[in-house]
């Protein structure tokens, strides 16, 4: 696999997790797309991989503002006097 394919695979994984994981967090996960040693060999360091993934996927870790629903208007009952 070439470097861009691996960046894409790691970026998708980190998007699923919601952030770029640290080495300790990545090592503790069981569902990683590739072993830590392979990542470090290909990119020469974890921080270099983080930079490349963040450049390719800048939306990782950004918090999407929650859209609040408009409050429902309740119609008042009209009481007619007889």
Contact 48, 20 (CB under 8 A): no
Upper half-sphere CA count for residue 5 (Cβ side, 13 Å)? 3
What is the residue extent of each domain of the chain?
3-56
pLDDT the model gives residue 1 = 75
> In this predicted model, what pLDDT tens digit does every residue of 34-77 receive, in sequence order?
999 999 999 999 999 999 998 988 887 665 556 666 667 776 77
Q: Picking from 13-22, 27-36, 58-67, which range would have the lowest pLDDT averaged per residue?
A: 58-67
What integer is the mean pLDDT of 27-40?
Answer: 92
pLDDT the model gives residue 59 = 83
Alpha-carbon span 58 to 73, nearest angstrom: 40
């Amino acid at each position: 696999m070439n470097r861009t394919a691996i960046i894409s695979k790691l970026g998708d994984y980190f998007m699923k997790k919601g952030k770029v994981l640290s080495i300790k967090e990545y090592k503790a996960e069981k569902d990683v797309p590739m072993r830590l040693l392979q990542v470090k060999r290909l990119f020469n360091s974890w921080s270099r991989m983080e930079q490349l993934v963040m450049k390719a996927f800048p939306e990782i870790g950004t918090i999407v503002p929650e859209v609040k629903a408009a409050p429902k208007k309740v119609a008042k009952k009209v009481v007619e006097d007889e």
